[in-house]
Structure formats: C-alpha cells, structure tokens
Structure 1
Amino acid sequence: MEILRLAAEAEATGRDIIHMEIGQPGTPAPAVAREAVTRAMGQGNLGYTEALGLPALRARIAQLYDEWYGVDLDPNRILVTPGSSGGFLLAFTSLFDPGDRVGIANPGYPAYRQILKAQGLVPELITTRMDDGYQPRPDQIDGAGLDGVLIASPANPTGTMLTPDGLRALIEVSEANGTAFISDEIYHGLNYAGRCTSALEITDKSFVINSFSKYFSMTGWRVGWIVLPPDHVARVTKLAQHMFICAPHASQIAALAALDATEELEANRATYARNRQVMIDLLPKAGITRFAPPDGGFYIYADISHLGEDSLTLARALLEEEGVAVTPGHDFDPDRGGGMWRLSYAASTEAITEGLTRIAAFTARRS
C-alpha cells in the first residue's frame, strides 16, 4: 500500500509510472458480461438470489469443470461467493474451531494469515524453497499435527504450479493425517507451462475456492465460488445466508455471461504469456537471476537481496529514480521478504518491456 500511495502521488504530478505492483488484470470485464448487466439494470429486477447463487450460474460453473478438467460436478455442491475472500471465510468457519492450526505456504498471499487470525485460528507458516517452486512438500505436512492446510496453485506471489502428482501427494498425506485440505484455484485459466490440475480431479473431500477476478478480469465485481464436499453443503449454505445473504445479483449475471467469453479471455491470456516470456528473458539482463519461473498467474517473485538493501527501500528508490512500481516481499514472507520483489506482468507488453529496461538501468547503478 505504501508503494501504491507513492505511485499515485507521482502520477498526480504528471510522471509516467510503469505499474508492476498491481495484483489484478489490466483488462476490463468481458464485453458480454458488461452488456448482460446493462440489460439487467434496464429491466430493474435485481434483488436477493438464493444463498447458493443463481441456478443457471452454478450449472454453467459445473460445465466449466467438465470443459477444463473432465470432472462431472453436481451444481448443488457449488456456492457462489462475494469474491474468493467470501469462500475463505466460509471454508474456515465450517472446518475449524478457534485455536486450530492451519498450514499455509511462506511466501504466500498475506490475506490468508489475516483472515485466519481474525477467526481465532493459528496460521502455521510452511517455509518453502525456490527449488520446490515455493510449494509445500508432503513431508512438511506429514506428522505436523495440522488441522488444515491451504494450497494455492498457481500461487501468489510466485506464479508456480504443482504438478498433478505433486498435488495428489499433498492431498493424500493430508487425508492420511486427518488434515482438512483447501485448494485455492483462483489463478486457474492463467496457465502457460501445462494445464492446471484441480483438487476435484483427485478427491471429493477438499474445499475448492475460485473466483472471477483473475482469468475473467472481474476483480471489482466481487464474485467467486466454492465447491464443497457433499457433507458440508447444508452447513455452509446456512453460514452464507447469515454472513452474506447472497453474492451480488448483478455480479452473478455478469459472471454467467463471462463464462462464454472464451475468445476475449484467451486473447488476454496470450498477452500475459508474451509478457511472462519478456520477464523471463529480460530480468537476467537486469542482473536479477534468482526466481522460480512462473507456470501461471501474472507474477514473478524475484530475489533482489544482492542489491544490498531492504526490498521496501529499494522499491521506493526504483519508483523515485525510474518511475517503476513493484511490490516488496514483506507481506508475502515476514521472514525473508526483505530480499524479494513481486513483479506483476498484467500490464501491456509495451509497458512490461519498458519497465524492465528501467529496472536494468536501476540495478546497473547498484552493481
């Protein structure tokens, strides 16, 4: 947030800022989604939906699982949520009691820690390694006494994915240890090095959380979904009724239309794929060589410890000297984040290329 504030102040003075700190697509919601909401607004019949969400939307999400993963999914196991954040709240509330311990990868999405703590739960940081793609290993879960584990693939901030065998091994060791398994699949669809594997291809016992924010370019619409184990559907439906009543009706209408915007969405993904390759090619030329190549999403999590200063100090200097905004690693990893940057490549290819040229000039002055 510090970098966002400074970048906004710099832009207000007329400076040209390259945004590589923003964790959202640089594209709007699909045109058909916006058109569908315009029609619905004209009809004036928006209101509460059932807590599970619009039946047509849940049926279409179930169809997506067949299209992407070959999974035959009962739409009655799908609950539409106000963003993935609503899914995490519902999953944690249904699965855990205060004081329970939930394992999450370190580095990882910082909201996991804060939502867990707000619910009286204990986030157990699983220290991961670059050699493992910053993903947990089964031996870090086996015998750890965890009540739950949350896995993201592709992950934020690293963009790395688990292989099908890697995901299966984590699920199997979790089930053997009586550890509830939650799969964050919010970046599915944004994959470049092989397809994403859903936990639903392996088990019906996990909670699977997804969102329209990333692949579908609908961050501000606040709509996502959770796929529930059959024995949790009734309980989570009641929780959703009390917590949210329902996800926003207008956003559900937009989401239903977005699911058929394949041509536009795949064009967006092609841009991210080009940007990813630009990052992989040009970062080493800027002297930044230590990172796990991202398999999905639109981030690279890069080691900049060789530059000799804290990542926030360096991010401020980069913004001031070169007009490039990046995210320091502190929020993603409280222990090692002082030596890391997260760089987003969700902007245009031209902007990403120019940003890396400026980063190279910045690092050259510090070598």
Structure 2
Amino acid sequence: MALRISSRSELPSFMVMDVLEKAERMTGLPKPLLRLEMGQPSSPPPKAALDALIKHTHDVSAHGYTLSRGTIELTEAIARHYKRWYDLDIKPEQVLVTVGSSLGFMMAFLTCFEAGDKIAMTSPGYSAYRNLMLSASIEPMLIDINAKDNWRLTAASLEKLDPVPDGLIIASPANPTGVVMSDAELEAICKWCEANGVRLISDEIYHGISFDKTDTCAMQYSSSALVMNSFSKYFAMTGHRIGWVIAPDDLVDPLERLAQNCFISANTLSQIAATVAMDDPATYQEMDSHVERYRVNRDLLLDRLPIELLGQFPYPEGGFYIYADTSALSNNSVELTDTFLNELYIAATPGLDFDDAAGHLAMRLSFAGSTEDMAEAAARLTQWVQSRR
C-alpha cells in the first residue's frame, strides 16, 4: 500500500530554480552562458566579511550553536544599522536572525495566521510568498497590478478588497517589477492595515538598491508591522543564508520559540562575518559601488534591448530586474526562456513564476551581473529578434 504524501507539499515549482538547474547542467557551449535568471549579485561579499571568515575559520567557538534569535553582536549591529539608515530606534531584542529571509516569511506565517486565513499580495509578485502560504494552509489573495496602475499597489486598491484579508505582504523595491514605494504610498498602506486590523509584512530585502528614491522602512509608520530583510542582496552574501526579522514586542517570543524548534540557530561563522561587515563603514562604500554598477546595467539594457521586449513594462526604480514584456515575441514565456537558454545561451526567468494570469507574456531579466555580460546579452537578444522581424 502506497503511503500518503500531504496535499500541502503539492506546491508549484519555483521556476527560477528550475532554470538554474538547467543552466548548471549545460557544458561545452560555443559561447559563454549569460546568467540573467537569478537574483544573485555577481559582486563578491564585503571585504570585511571575507576577512572575518578567514580570521575565524579555525576558531572552534565559531562552529557551534548561537542563540536562536542570533548572536548578541549581530542583533546589536542590525539595530545600529536601522539607526544609521532610517533613524529608527530598534531594540536588539526585536531582531530575530533567520536562515535566509525565506524562513523568516514562513515563521511569520506560522506565528501570525491560522489555517484558512487570507494574505493579500500583488501579482506579479514573488512566488515563494504564495507557495509558502499554501504549504501553511493559508490562502493567497492576489491583487493584480499592471501598466494601468503604473504597477503600483495603493491604499485605494486595498479598499476594494472583499473580504478584507488577515494579512498583507508588500515589497519595495518590488520583485520582479523594481517599483519603489513613495513615503506617502507606504504611509497610506500602513494606516489602512492599522485601521482594518490587517497584519502587515514588509519585504525590504532590496533596500539599499534604489536608484531614484530613498528607501523607507515600514516600521516608520507602523508599530505592528513585521519587517523582513537579508544579507543576500545589498550585502551580496546570498550563499551565507543570513536573514532577519524585525518584530513587534508581542511577536518576539513566539518567533523565537519557532526558531528554537525549526533550526536552532543560523550559521555561526556567517553571523560573525555579517556582524563585522555591517559595522564597517567601508562595507557601505563598497556595496554602493555595486549599486552604481546595477544602475549602469539597467540603463544599458533599457537603451539596447530590442523594442519587442520593452512594451508595457515597469520601469525599474530599484532592485536589479527588468520585468520584460514578451507579448510581441511569444504567448508562452516558459517556451521562450527555454529558447533563449538553448539557442542564445541566456538564462532568464519566465513571468509565470510571478504571475499566473499574465506571466505567460513576461520574463524577468536580472541585471545583477557584470556590465560586459549585460552588453553581450542585449546584443544576442537584438540579433535574435531582428532575424525574426
């Protein structure tokens, strides 16, 4: 008799990881493989982090458990970071260090919501939100955004939701659109959540990578919001899997108890490296130089990509993605990304990873790589499109 597999595990594939696996298996190619699929900086981690890793690798104390909420040194460093960047007085006790931000989201879902609750999010939006909700028996409530809305979520659009959701996830800069909320937009959304008893979860993982606006933390407008962040994007430490949650006082203990039982603690050596990097002023100069390269890459692609990829697309104000409109080329983004991978040796992510309804007409291109790779990708795509006009 076959043993049962739970229905909660019947999740949609995280398509970007499928593309990653295909790309990793490609060998002996006639041209270099251009990696525009992953939200992963090609930049190295901060020098201070690398130096700390070398210094502490043979330190036996750096290979054991830490407090489940993270080392005291790292939670204090994160609190100082919020004072520097946002002039916010965050208590170190409000900080919970997680194994990447994804686990932080799962812990927030389990702590704040019951099975059957509804959490609203934008579509297009980061698919792991939706998939993790489903695994926790929480219902995603999708809010369609598009060119008519300037790809923006507003308090006015939230007023139309029926029923009012139990929770709301926002992201700024947003993945995959690159839209950055203004202070006024964020304040209005926070006020709507407070007025309607909606738990706000703010994804601020791409903070620090904004080109035209200043990032604002949701906790500047809401004392009940959960804020998610990570060392993966701005600090370019993706493989170290160090994220964090800033939580209201009443959620700190429940979140910590989950951490104790789920993963005990995040990687100790990586926490040490993250602490040293976050406290070193040189780190921010170093990382800001990478952000300037992302800006150059964005502008290069917008200038050189064929017009067939730049229809009704959101202008990337932050992050490192272009959510390209592929409707002039194909009505099947999965097939089109396969074509780009197999014929052009360009890895990209199909829009269906972010939007079930209209993602078949879109594709996410990451410009977190080198400027040379962006120029080569634009040249290959232009040549391919021109050959089909």
TM-score range, shorter chain: over 0.9
Alignment partner of 1:347 is 2:369: yes
- The amino acid that maps onto 1:258 is A
Identity %, equivalent residues: 39
Q: Distance in 2 between matches of 1:10 and 1:107?
A: 29
Displacement of 1:284 after TM fit?
Answer: 5.1
Displacement of 1:169 after TM fit?
Answer: 1.1
Alignment partner of 1:45 is 2:61: yes
Residue deviations 1:69-89 (CA, integer Å, cap 9, x gap)? 111211111111111012101
Mapping for residues 163-312 of structure 1, pairs under 5 Å: 163-259=182-278, 260=280, 261-283=283-305, 285=307, 288-312=310-334
Q: Distance in 2 between matches of 1:364 and 1:284?
A: 8
Q: Distance in 2 between matches of 1:87 and 1:4?
A: 23
Displacement of 1:287 after TM fit?
Answer: 5.4
Match of 2:381 in 1: 359
Contact persistence 1:293–1:300 (CA under 8 A): yes
Q: Among 103, 125, 130, which residue is 2:147 paired with?
A: 130
Alignment partner of 1:19 is 2:38: no
Runs of 4+ that moved beyond 4 A? 284-287
Q: Distance in 1 between matches of 2:388 and 2:270?
A: 47
Residue deviations 1:274-331 (CA, integer Å, cap 9, x gap)? 1111122223556523211111110010111011341122222223332222111111
Match of 2:133 in 1: 116
Q: Distance in 2 between matches of 1:280 and 1:325?
A: 18
Q: TM-score scaled by structure 1?
A: 0.95
Residue deviations 1:44-94 (CA, integer Å, cap 9, x gap)? 112111122111111111111111111121111111111101210121111
The SS at the match of 2:213 is coil
Match of 2:79 in 1: 62
Q: Distance in 1 between matches of 2:177 and 2:150?
A: 8
Alignment partner of 1:33 is 2:49: yes
Displacement of 1:133 after TM fit?
Answer: 4.2
Displacement of 1:2 after TM fit?
Answer: 4.2
- The amino acid that maps onto 1:289 is G
Q: Distance in 1 between matches of 2:97 and 2:23?
A: 34
- The amino acid that maps onto 1:125 is L
The SS at the match of 2:170 is strand
- Identify unmatched segments of 5+ residues in structure 1: none
The SS at the match of 1:360 is helix
Which range is displaced more, 337-346 or 57-66? 57-66
Q: Distance in 2 between matches of 1:276 and 1:35?
A: 31
Contact persistence 2:333–2:351 (CA under 8 A): yes
Q: Distance in 1 between matches of 2:307 and 2:136?
A: 45
- In structure 2, the CA distance between the partners of 1:321 and 1:96, relative to structure 1 (3 Å rule), is same
- In structure 2, the CA distance between the partners of 1:152 and 1:330, relative to structure 1 (3 Å rule), is same
Displacement of 1:14 after TM fit?
Answer: 4.7
Contact persistence 1:152–1:185 (CA under 8 A): yes
The SS at the match of 1:362 is helix
Contact persistence 1:11–1:17 (CA under 8 A): no
Q: Among 101, 105, 113, which residue is 2:118 paired with?
A: 101
Displacement of 1:138 after TM fit?
Answer: 1.7
Contact persistence 1:141–1:174 (CA under 8 A): no
Displacement of 1:23 after TM fit?
Answer: 1.5
Contact persistence 1:37–1:254 (CA under 8 A): yes
- In structure 2, the CA distance between the partners of 1:131 and 1:253, relative to structure 1 (3 Å rule), is farther
The SS at the match of 1:126 is strand
Q: Distance in 2 between matches of 1:19 and 1:169?
A: 38
- The amino acid that maps onto 2:320 is F
Q: Distance in 1 between matches of 2:261 and 2:24?
A: 38
Q: Distance in 2 between matches of 1:51 and 1:196?
A: 29
Match of 1:162 in 2: 181
Q: TM-score scaled by structure 2?
A: 0.90
Contact persistence 2:308–2:329 (CA under 8 A): no
The SS at the match of 2:207 is coil
Contact persistence 2:191–2:222 (CA under 8 A): no
- Identify unmatched segments of 5+ residues in structure 2: 1-16
Q: Distance in 1 between matches of 2:138 and 2:307?
A: 43
Displacement of 1:345 after TM fit?
Answer: 0.3
The SS at the match of 1:191 is coil
Which range is displaced more, 256-265 or 225-234? 256-265
Residue deviations 1:171-220 (CA, integer Å, cap 9, x gap)? 11111111110000000011101111110111211000000000000111
- The amino acid that maps onto 2:352 is H
Q: Distance in 1 between matches of 2:42 and 2:111?
A: 34
